[in-house]
Structure 1
Amino acid sequence: MSKNIRFFSIFIIGFSIYYFFDLFYFKDIQSFSKGVFHSKAIAHVIAYTITLLPLIITLKVLFPKKIILDLFSINKSVMKGFLPTFMATFPMVIGYYIHFAIIKTINVESLFINTISSAFFEEIIFRSFLFGTLYRFTRLGFLSSVLLGSLLFAQIHLYQSQNTMELIEIFAITFLGSILFAWVYMEMDFNLWAAIFLHFFMNLYWEIFNVSENVSGNLYGNIYKFVSIILLIGIVIYHKRKNKIPFQITWKNLFIKTREVQS
């Protein structure tokens, strides 16, 4: 019992320090870095990297003998994360090309921030740390572990609109999207690159085609996204069944795990 109290206390304190550090200093660090390097993209990466320090320290306090790449789940195969998500999101490219125009003027730095940088760092924070740490190293099940991260992930996207109905749609879509990213990360052998690339491709196609001003989208935008999600789920299920790999999620471990996680 005392071991669990220590773990959750350090986890909560560490994330709280990160949360307020990010809330109050992210923009200042970004602004300062932009002034030094004259690049919004580089400043974005630097601000994220510095504000991540409390999470890195938290994990090293909890697991002093483990390497940080393993704790963040980025020591797995990049290609195994890339290929299935690239194939699964291909319907978005085809569908968006048919129904939407390509953006004529693309700001490269903004595109980098909204695709590569955001996908990488958000998956590190919300899937690897908030979900992965709880699911991999405690007895909490999938739903118990994914709730906090998904609520916060949905909350940070509410800046995209002031309309009440759109805000509800944005919250629901990003909340469910967070659960999907967590499922993909977990069922693909805790390979965070799978969630990163899925996040990246979905953001990329949404950015380069004139789909919608925010994540709530529209009919065709959401139809092709939904098709890609179904295809990805099918690819993951097929791969696991073909190779006789047991699924992480079962009815027995939705809330509390009954067996150790192999990660």
Structure 2
Amino acid sequence: MNKTIRFFFLFIAGFSAYYFFDLFYFSSIQNFVKGISGSKAVAHVAAYSVTLIPLIITLKILFSQKTIVDLFSINQSIAKGFLIAFTGTVPMLIGYIIYFKLTKRIDFQSLFINTISSAFFEEIIFRAFLIGTLYRFTRLGFISSILFGSLLFAYIHLYQSSNPTELVEILMITFLGSAFFSWTYFETDFNLWTAIFLHFFMNLYWEIFNVSENVSGNIHGNIFKFLSVAVVIAIIVYTKRKNKAPYQITGKSLFIKTKPA
């Protein structure tokens, strides 16, 4: 079998196995672990960890010589990812302090699920596996690599909509958010921690200041979010220029690359 055909066959089969495993068993695993531990946070982590197994198996079949931490891009500098994300999201923090009030009653287990757990596992699944694997190990370019993964990422958030307008807003915001997280991941030398911490801080500030019931947000919520996006981009661009480092994403790598990254 042609290597490219074999790769895409196994990649699609592996993600399909994960998708249906997650679809049919995530809730069951979550409820089972919650019944034993009494913690919905622990149950959430356990369910995600178990449903990741098909993705891990797929990567080990495709790249037997590489480690999972390398394939999931979590072997890079945690401190660097944290610093970029924290500094970049300062506009959100300051803006929300000014315009919004802290949530009076915080459910810390729900906060953990919506910030730490969701940020970590969603970045592993979508940015590292579904998008990152395609960009790093095939000739697919940036847009070609992110298209399906970002649409799926947007799709899983559509449950938050209550009308057609919100649905379109959520679709656009989450799709663009996925593209942004992917860009930061690629342009920080495939450091997934950058995307994980960005996802974490953005969700954290959104939650603790009760900005909105869903990701479509409101004027002030989105203004400061977009300001943070601009600051993150500026930090990464400045760092690259200072270090004279080449960009991963250029006009020549948008659709098809001359070789894998």
Query: Match of 2:209?
Result: 209
Gaps of 5+ in 2: none
The CA distance in 2 between the partners of 1:188 and 1:54, in whole Å, is: 27
The answer for the alignment partner of 1:67 in structure 2 is 67
- Which residue does the alignment assign to 1:107? 107
Which residue of structure 2 lines up, in the alignment, with residue 153 of structure 1?
Answer: 153
Give percent identity, aligned residues only: 70
3-state DSSP of counterpart to 1:16? helix
- The answer to whether the 8 Å contact 2:88/2:228 transfers is yes
Shift of 1:260: 4.1
Question: Could you state the TM-score of these two structures normalised by the residue count of structure 1?
Answer: 0.98
Q: Residue 210 of structure 1: CA displacement?
A: 2.1
Task: Look up the match of 1:178.
Answer: 178
Please name the residue that 1:51 is paired with: 51
Partner residue, 2:13? 13
Matched, 1:126 2:126: yes
The AA in structure 2 aligned to 1:154 is: A
Question: What is residue 187 of structure 1 aligned with on the other side?
Answer: 187
Equivalent pair of 2:138/2:259 in contact (CA under 8 Å): no
Cα distance in structure 1, aligned partners of 2:260 and 2:217: 39
Which whole-Å deviations, capped at 9, do the CAs of 1:93-139 have from their partners, x for residues lacking one?
11001100100100000000000000000000000000110000001
Q: Aligned equivalents of 2:147 and 2:160: distance in 1? A: 22
Root-mean-square deviation (CA, aligned residues, Å) is 0.8
Matched residue type, 1:93: L
Question: How many Å apart are 1:173 and its aligned residue?
Answer: 0.1
Residue 96 of structure 2 corresponds to which residue in structure 1?
Answer: 96
Offset from partner CA, 1:141-166 (integer Å, 9 cap, x none): 00000111100000000111221100
Q: Distance in 2 between matches of 1:209 and 1:222?
A: 13
Counterpart for residue 227 of structure 2: 227
Secondary structure of the structure 1 residue equivalent to 2:65: coil
What residue number does 1:238 align with? 238
Q: What corresponds to 2:248 in structure 1?
A: 248
Matched residue SS, 1:140: coil
Unmatched runs of 5 consecutive residues or more in structure 1? none
| Residue correspondences, number | 261
Q: Partners in 2 of 1:24 and 1:99 — Cα distance?
A: 41
CA contact (8 A) 2:14 2:58 kept: yes
The secondary structure found in structure 2 opposite 1:144 is: helix
Instruction: Please give the TM-score of this superposition, normalised by the length of structure 2.
Output: 0.99
Structure 2 CA distance, aligned partners of 1:226 and 1:247?
22
Conserved 8 A contact 2:144-2:256: yes
Per the TM alignment, residue 259 of structure 1 is displaced from its structure 2 partner at its CA by 3.8
State the one-letter code of the partner of 2:246.
P
Aligned equivalents of 2:102, 2:251: Cα separation in 1 = 44
